[in-house]
Amino acid sequence: MATDRHSSWMTGPLGGLILRPWFDRLALAAMVKGYFPLSRLWAAAEAAGEDAETFFSEVPMAPLAGAAKDRLQDALKEAAARRSDAVRAEQEWRGVLFDAGASADPGATEKHRRRAIAHSMHSRGLFRPWRKQASPVRFSTVPPAEAHARFGHHLQDPPQAFQPESAVVEVSRPVASNGVIERWLRFDCPHDGVGGTAWAHVFEPEGGFDHTIFLCHGVGMEAEVWGEGYHMAPPFVARGLRVIEPEAPWHSRRRPLGHHGGEPFMANGLAGAIEMFGCHVREIGALVGWAHETSDGKVAVGGISLGALNSQLAVAHAGSWPEVMRPDAALFVTTTDRLDHVAWDSGFSKGFKGAAELSQAGWTREISQDWLPLLAPVGEPGIAPDRIVMALGTADNITPYASGGAFAKRWRIPPENLLETWQGHFSKALGLGHNPAPIERLCAILRS
């Protein structure tokens, strides 16, 4: 979606020309061959500190020697220094933002945190000379038998796997800037398989809001740690909505040491997806409850790609949830209900070699389909179809359009709520700044 950083060209005529399927081919190649291999090197450096031998093992890659190893050692030292600065900035930020008695300026503290963490994230560039020696993902695919031992009991009662619980939500001090009030939320993660603290970032128009939307992000999208300009919120806040952006498991503050953002979701195969959805859908339900309790307006859920997959599971199961936790509307951007197609046939799966890893671990297409009740919205929506907006790209090969379009028909999404354009996965999401019809449609539904 359009952000402050990118809106200058995305919302203009140039965006309409560039954000087409050819953009998606370049974007996927850049991710598979550039960003994610660099992220794997960066994560390995985090685990290794300044120890080169540990780094080689963590990537994994062949050891270097001589001048090349010396250059790597310099990169590891610089990355470690930046990481230490980022950790200190985050710790200071938590103390200032969540201590009502703190005297430090929360706005200045937030700016410092963003600068320090973004500087650490950009240390990926230090490892560019070895990009071709790293895979995008360090796979550890869970085989079917182990997945069944961990999650098989949920197949007997899938709705129970997604049942949310009320949470004690802690709210940070506010930060006001450029007509927007920002807050952060944290609460105990309800899912034992992930654990730790769940986080969300709240954006409110300074003049007040009427309704709320949850915008859940895609895999590897970590706006909290990349500096200003990467959030999905601006076009929604500009239309008078409160926006809540939850952090998905294994991303941003929830990222495990030695992994890049979202890597366990991909690395563990379908078991990673089952764990992700079983955790994040429950968190979404708890946060919807908080949103209803803190305003009189309606609450929508939605997101891009992985964020849409999480949100649609929340909508699918919301009918059995406590009323306060049920969303009133939804916006799904680039989605499908066939996670087996994503696992075996998508551009991500082919580019990252995920399908080959599944096969090697003993998975088949047929076995994958057995797990769809824990991966996809196999039943009817828990809210009225005319309260759901879907934005699909007809050239999408990441969440394949054929199954996404069939999903829209199965859920009986009205024609006025099904907004399709000749775009791919990335160009469709980024193109909402140029063509905000899905945003406008959701706003109309919330205000009807």
> DSSP string spanning 370-397?
HTGGGTS--S--SS-GGGEEEEEETT-T
Element (H, E) at 92: helix 66-98
pLDDT of 230 reads 77
Could you tell me if 253 and 197 are in contact, meaning their C-beta atoms sit under 8 angstroms apart?
A: yes
Could you tell me if 314 and 327 are in contact, meaning their C-beta atoms sit under 8 angstroms apart?
A: yes
Classify burial at 91, counting beta carbons within 10 Å of its beta carbon; exposed 0-12, middle 13-18, buried 19 or more.
Answer: exposed
* Cα–Cα–Cα angle for 47, 281, 440, rounded to 5 degrees: 110
Q: Report phi then psi at 216, rounded to 5.
A: -95, 135
User: In angstroms, rounded to a whole number, what is the distance separating the alpha carbons of residues 391 and 434?
Assistant: 13
Q: Which residues pair with 12 in a beta bridge?
A: none
Q: Give the pairing type, strands 180-188 and 175-177.
A: antiparallel
User: In angstroms, rounded to a whole number, what is the distance separating the alpha carbons of residues 307 and 12?
Assistant: 26
pLDDT of 128 reads 98
**Cα torsion angle, 343, 344, 346, 347, sign:** positive
Could you tell me if 273 and 358 are in contact, meaning their C-beta atoms sit under 8 angstroms apart?
A: no
- Per domain, the residue ranges of the chain are 41-129, 144-446
User: In angstroms, rounded to a whole number, what is the distance separating the alpha carbons of residues 286 and 169?
Assistant: 9
User: In angstroms, rounded to a whole number, what is the distance separating the alpha carbons of residues 389 and 292?
Assistant: 20
Say what the pTM is.
Answer: 0.95
> What CATH code is assigned to 144-446?
3.40.50.1820
Structure token digits, residue 218: 């895609």
pLDDT of 18 reads 85
- pLDDT digit string (tens) for 215-246? 999 999 999 999 766 799 999 999 999 999 99
pLDDT of 303 reads 98
User: In angstroms, rounded to a whole number, what is the distance separating the alpha carbons of residues 216 and 225?
Assistant: 16
In whole angstroms, how far apart are CA 329 and each of 2, 218, 247, 441? 21, 20, 20, 11
Low-confidence ranges of the chain (pLDDT < 50): 1-6
